[in-house]
Amino acid sequence: MATLSSIVVALVALIHVYILVLEMFLWDKPAGLRAFGQKLEAARASKVLAANQGLYNGFLAAGLIWGLSLGAEGGSVKVFFLLCVLIAGVYGAATASKKILYVQALPAALGLVLLALA
């Protein structure tokens, strides 16, 4: 179960690295416009805010990777950052897009369950 929980935590980290790239570098490019359902004009107007948001997603990924790097001693670090991801995902689903619940919150919740079972 520990291996499976580590795989899920790593997947959540990779998702957040991908979100970082989309928000910081591809926000007003075709991939970013598609991912977030934006029009080019709106994306250009919000590009700085999106880059800031992307940086925060990078911090979440870094925290999860840190927790993984600590091995068995990193359980509390992984739990903390998965809880941050889960809360951000629930808030994003409530305020921005229901899709965030499935892309962000659900994988984090699965990681938390697997960590609890490990």
- Angle ∠(93,3,92) on CA atoms, nearest 5: 10
- State percent of the chain over pLDDT 70: 100
pLDDT value at 1 more than 90: no
What's the mean per-residue pLDDT of the chain? 96
**Stretch 31-41: mean pLDDT:** 95
Amino acid making up residue 63: G
Specify the pLDDT at position 118: 87
Q: Using 50, 70 and 90 to split pLDDT, how confident is the model at 92? A: very high
Whole-model pTM: value is 0.93
**Stretch 62-89: mean pLDDT:** 97
Q: What does the DSSP 8-state code read for residue 44?
A: H
Record the tokens describing residue 68, joined without a space.
């993984």
